[in-house]
Amino acid sequence: MARQSISFTKPNDEWLKSQVDSEEYSSKSELVNDLIRQARKQQAQIDWIKARLERAENSGFTHDSKEAILAESKSMLNG
């Protein structure tokens, strides 16, 4: 695993410490890695939505119902 040295603002550092102190996470590193995983998953979802929108714009029309499009979008967002 790569080691990094990063600096946090005081409010962010205090929040990180409170998460570790509450035993939600065992260390700041674990918490930061979890936040990065969440951000990467969110970015993948955003990229998927953008690709769908671009495909829809380029196709001009879809035969999918509003309900089907909504269900597929919710399925993707919920993992």
Where do the structural domains in the chain lie, given as residue ranges?
Answer: 29-77
79 or 29, greater pLDDT: 29
**How large is the average pLDDT for residues 6-14?**
96
Length, in residues, of the chain: 79
Lowest mean pLDDT among 34-38, 40-44, 55-59: 55-59
For the question of whether the overall pTM of this predicted structure is more than 0.85, the answer is no
What digits encode the pLDDT tens for the residues 46-62?
999 899 888 888 887 77
